[in-house]
Amino acid sequence: MDPITVEVLKGALTYTTEEMGIALRNSAYSPNIKERMDFSCTLFDHKRRLAAQAEHIPVHLGSMQLAVQNGLQGFEGKMDEGDMILLNDPYISGTHLPDLTLICPIFFGNEIVAYSANKAHHSDVGGKAPGSMAGDATEIYQEGIIIPPVKFVKNNVIDREIADIVLSNVRTPEVRLGDLRAQMAANLLGKRRILEVIDRYDARTLCRAVEEIMDYSEQRVKAKIKEMPKRTYTAQDCLENTGTSNRRVKIKVAVTIEPDSLLIDYTGTDEQVEGPVNAVLGVTLSGVYYVLRCLTDPSIPMNEGSTRPIRVHVPEGSLMNPVPPAPVAGGNVETSQRNVDVLLKVFAQLIPEKVCAACQGTMNNVAVGGTDLMTGKQWTFYETIAGGFGGRRDMDGVNAVHSHMTNTMNTPIEAIETTYPIRFLKYELRPDSGGPGRWRGGVGLERSWKLLAPSAVLSVLGERTKTPPWGLYGGKSGAKGEYFIMKPNGKRLRLKSKCTVNIEKGDVFIVRTPGGGGYGNPLKRKTDLVLRDVSDGLVSLESAKKDYKVIVDPHRTKIIQRSDEKL
């Protein structure tokens, strides 16, 4: 096939998914979707294989192939023009209950030629706690309504009976319906663009081009694998608690490099636990695909072809492949991050020049909600909070960024205060939180707000409050995270990294996010970079002296000398 035509169609597919994301964001109701952009958009071919994706949320994107293939089972020959399938069952859709997946078949004549699909995180889907992210859930039924694959849209109209069932089980039905309509709009835009491509090139040409794009991705991934040393590498790390106990939970990974494929084996990982940190298979696969994409060549088109050389073995009933009714909300957001850390530890032995030190290793999930006494309606607010990126070869880690499996945006304070009974008191970088190194880890954040409502329920799902983000090649660890409630009388209560608690008017919630690990020996860091960090307030005078052996004058304008030199 003409390579120019293939390239043009590859670009058309990719930019269609990006345009779908713009439509979804512009149509959404909730700050979590329209501000944080907690959604992902994709296109699939007529065989239900991933054809293209936008640069959205890795933990969504890596699970979409499972979501579409599993979600469409049972609908063969039963879908018509204008139908859309809705689901959120994690054991089918591959993430957690707040992520609602909507799939749209694209017909040309009487044949399905493609599918547009998206996944968006809704800030409440019911369950025991507002925000549906309970830190102490013991079964999935406590995390929200479970939606099996259903025809949510028929003839381009939402099925009111199904919608009533869904919306009767959530705290904020108007917002949920608005966000679902935004997901519909995104899929319809994807459908329109695909039909425009077919009108110009015809359906057969599009299908042939997709096949060639997938084969091209497969060959490029295989070429990168052939460059790797052929042996088995292992690593392990742990979660600091389960949410229901203080027991640490191990993730163990072995990576075997074969001639033109990879085997990722999770044998030795602990069994599933009672708490909400279990990660369904789609989450595990997402971490694998994300890490390999980062460490091979990000320019390789991501589609079904790029995953063909990758085999993943995950024992059923383990932390990384649980069976129902295990709770999984935290597995999607926290265990997914630790999975990436373990995989990076493996590849640090294999291709050390491409691996960064550990990033903050958590999403710092915060969900809070209550009742508006004036209207009697429920409100729920959900966000994740950025931290430090790990130091890299020849470059410091990025400060205050959402890393690895999240890739979301900051929620603007103005949007939150306009919508919810919350007033922010502080939002600033956290000095000395980045791990010292030749290349410093990025610093985390301190973010705090006061509750203005009479009462609310607060849930936290976090990590790295006991085990700090690790450094690489002599770099030191980043600072650990912290969560607090400050009472009006000044009493400060330290929270566990996974918890659900009641809070009252005037209580202040404080989160200090972890910094990234340092890369390389701190004593090899250039002194002018140390001075810059001190001047910028990222590193204190004390840390400059202790960790870098550099003495900076009290005005932070010049270096006096290295403290290990003779005075």
CB atoms closer than 10 angstroms to residue 270: 17
* Assigned token pair, 405: 């499996």
- SS3 of 566, please? coil
Nearest Cα residue to 336 out of 279, 380, 374, 379:
279
Give the pLDDT confidence of 348-367 residue by residue, as tens digits.
999 999 999 999 999 999 99
Residues sharing a CB contact under 8 Å with residue 262, sequence separation 6 or more, in sequence order: 225, 255, 256, 292, 309, 310, 311
Dihedral (Cα; 432, 342, 119, 422), 10-degree rounding: -30
What's the count of helices (H) and strands (E) in the chain, helices before strands? Answer: 15, 22
Give the pLDDT confidence of 542-558 residue by residue, as tens digits.
999 999 999 999 988 88
CA distance 331 to 86: 22
Q: What is the reported pLDDT for 565?
A: 54
3-state helix, strand, coil in the chain (%, to 5): 30, 25, 45
- SS3 of 356, please? coil
Q: What is the reported pLDDT for 353?
A: 93
Per-residue confidence in pLDDT tens, the chain, 567 aa: 899 999 999 999 999 999 999 999 999 999 999 999 999 999 999 999 999 999 999 999 999 999 999 999 999 999 999 999 999 999 999 999 999 999 999 999 999 999 999 999 999 999 999 999 999 999 999 999 999 999 999 999 999 999 999 999 999 999 999 999 999 999 999 999 999 999 999 999 999 999 999 999 999 999 999 999 999 999 999 999 999 999 999 999 999 999 999 999 999 999 999 999 999 999 999 999 999 999 999 999 999 999 999 999 999 999 999 999 999 999 999 999 999 999 999 999 999 999 999 999 999 999 999 999 889 999 999 999 999 999 999 999 999 999 999 999 999 999 999 999 999 999 999 999 999 999 999 999 999 999 999 999 999 999 999 999 999 999 999 999 999 999 999 999 999 999 999 999 999 999 999 999 999 999 999 999 999 999 999 999 999 999 999 999 998 888 887 766 543
- SS3 of 403, please? coil
CB atoms closer than 10 angstroms to residue 371: 16
Alpha helices in 171-271 (DSSP H): 173-201, 203-226
- Buried b vs exposed e over 171-185: b needs ≥16 C-beta within 10 Å? bbbebbbbbbebbbb
pTM above the 0.85 mark? yes
CA distance 353 to 551: 31
Q: Across the strands, what pairs with 102?
A: 86, 118
Three-state SS annotation for 107-155: EECCEEEEEEEEEEECCCCCCCCCCCCCCCCCCHHHCCCCCCCEEEEEC
CA distance 318 to 153: 36
Q: What is the reported pLDDT for 560?
A: 86
Q: What is the reported pLDDT for 171?
A: 98
* Assigned token pair, 260: 């033109």
Q: Which long-range contacts (CB under 8 A, 24 or more apart) does 166-170 make?
A: 166/86, 169/125, 169/126, 169/144, 169/145, 170/122, 170/124, 170/125, 170/126, 170/144, 170/145
CA distance 130 to 142: 11
